[in-house]
Amino acid sequence: MKGQFRMYDFTTFERKLFDPWMNQFKSGEGIGEFSFEKGGPTSLYGTTDMLISIFILNNLMLFDYQADEWANIINQFQDPKTGWYNKTYALHHFKEHTSAYAIAALHLIDRKPKYPFSWKNDILKSEKAHERWISGRADIRLIWSIIWLGSHVISGIPAMLSMTNQGNDEFFNWCFNWLDNHADPKSGFYHQGIHHRLGVNRIPSKHEMAGAFHMYYIYEWFNRKWPYPERIVDHCIRLQHKNGFWDKDVTYCIDLDGLYSMIRSSRNANWYRREDVKQTVCRYLENAERTLNDEEFFFKNYTNSHLLPGALSAIAECQKWFPELVKTAQTWKQSLDYACFI
């Protein structure tokens, strides 16, 4: 009922389910050795997924030598010639996601990449180079057409450069000006794909929402406000499914995308539609509580390491802004407040 709220309890998940689930992916004796799939070899995503998950649960307490061990495992996947990080199995992410995700994990433990980025000067050298990077190449125009997945190619670059202090003010200011000028006034999302330019599918979908989210946390990292926050709130609320999620009946990164975009846009607009936002949060938490605390459902559906971090971050986002709604053994941490990528 509108105006009546309860607290959603995730302590069963924390105390009984997370550790046994995590241990399925242990791939070696080292503190940070985890696989992407059960029984697999140590992998970049397995290691970084677990580090980020433990961090969000506020359980990542490391001595310096332990942080060094995590960092050494992560950095063994970095290409010394290019600085990009490499994945060793099929996961539908571009190198920009793989690399920015690795650097974010390192940032959470105050560690850095081992090798410099040989590619950065091709982007930083001039405004013409900036333009080519964000919209001028044939492949990047295709990226904008698959915006949910492809947006990592855009957001990953300023994220990596900012977390490693390898960017410059001229580039970052240019980047934000471009994003400001290309946001759709009717939604706050980015309609730069081929189908958008042809006027096809103009009603914003979860794909545009999720793609735009990857830009919003860059804005947030730089303490800048993105345009059209009221329209973003409207569409994020509209796009929530009856199950409380923004996709299927398993909470994962798309729910973080919807919640983060909605809540922080509402905050940026003087808490526009705050009551509706809170109701939307409650609908999400109700199903998240049910599914994450259900041992059979949880182990059946979370069969790789990468599905869970986004869900945990979504719950942490709810708790950050509506602490009266979320019960946990200890307060969770929104990793995006500490590292500029997820």
Which fold is adopted by the domain 8-337?
A: Glycosyltransferase (1.50.10)
Taking the C-alpha atoms of residue 84 and residue 293, their distance in angstroms, rounded to an integer, is 37
Q: Which of 197, 318, 201, 192 is nearest to 263 (CA)?
A: 318
- Using the Cα atoms of residue 39, residue 42, residue 45 and residue 48 in order, give the sign of their dihedral: positive
Question: How high is the pLDDT of residue 91?
Answer: 57
Question: How high is the pLDDT of residue 1?
Answer: 42
pLDDT digits (tens, 9 = 90+) for 196-226: 777 776 789 999 999 999 999 999 999 999 9
Question: How high is the pLDDT of residue 23?
Answer: 98
Taking the C-alpha atoms of residue 318 and residue 244, their distance in angstroms, rounded to an integer, is 13
Q: Which residues contact 58 (CB under 8 A, 6 or more apart)?
A: 330, 331, 332, 333
Which three-class secondary structure string do you get for 10-41?
Answer: CHHHHHHHHHHHHHCCECCCCCCCECCECCCC
Amino acid at 267: R
Taking the C-alpha atoms of residue 140 and residue 129, their distance in angstroms, rounded to an integer, is 13
pLDDT digits (tens, 9 = 90+) for 272-322: 999 999 999 999 999 999 999 999 999 999 999 999 999 999 999 999 999
pLDDT digits (tens, 9 = 90+) for 135-170: 888 787 788 888 898 899 999 999 999 999 999 999
Angle made by CA atoms 155, 161, 164, in degrees to the nearest 5:
130
Amino acid at 294: D
Taking the C-alpha atoms of residue 117 and residue 166, their distance in angstroms, rounded to an integer, is 9
Sequential DSSP letters for 170-238: HHHHHHHHHHHHHB-TTTSSB--SHHHHTT-S-S--HHHHHHHHHHHHHHHHTT-PPS-HHHHHHHHHH
Give burial (CB, 10 Å; 0-12/13-18/19+) of 238.
Answer: exposed
Taking the C-alpha atoms of residue 15 and residue 20, their distance in angstroms, rounded to an integer, is 10
> 236 with 262: CB under 8 angstroms?
yes
Question: How high is the pLDDT of residue 228?
Answer: 99
Backbone phi, psi, residue 334, to 5°: -80, 110
Residues in the chain: 342
Q: What are the CA-CA distances from residue 26 to residues 30, 35, 126 (Å)? A: 9, 6, 45
Mean of pLDDT values over 89-93? 64
Q: Which of 246, 248, 251, 275 is nearest to 263 (CA)?
A: 275
Strand partners, 304: 37
Alpha carbon 70 to its chain centroid, in Å, reads: 20
Least trusted range by pLDDT, from 30-34, 111-115, 182-186, 202-206: 202-206
Compute the CA torsion angle 45, 51, 52, 55 (nearest 10 deg).
170
- Is 84 a residue whose pLDDT tops 70? yes
**What percent of the chain stands above pLDDT 70?**
96
Strand partners, 9: 327
Taking the C-alpha atoms of residue 216 and residue 150, their distance in angstroms, rounded to an integer, is 15
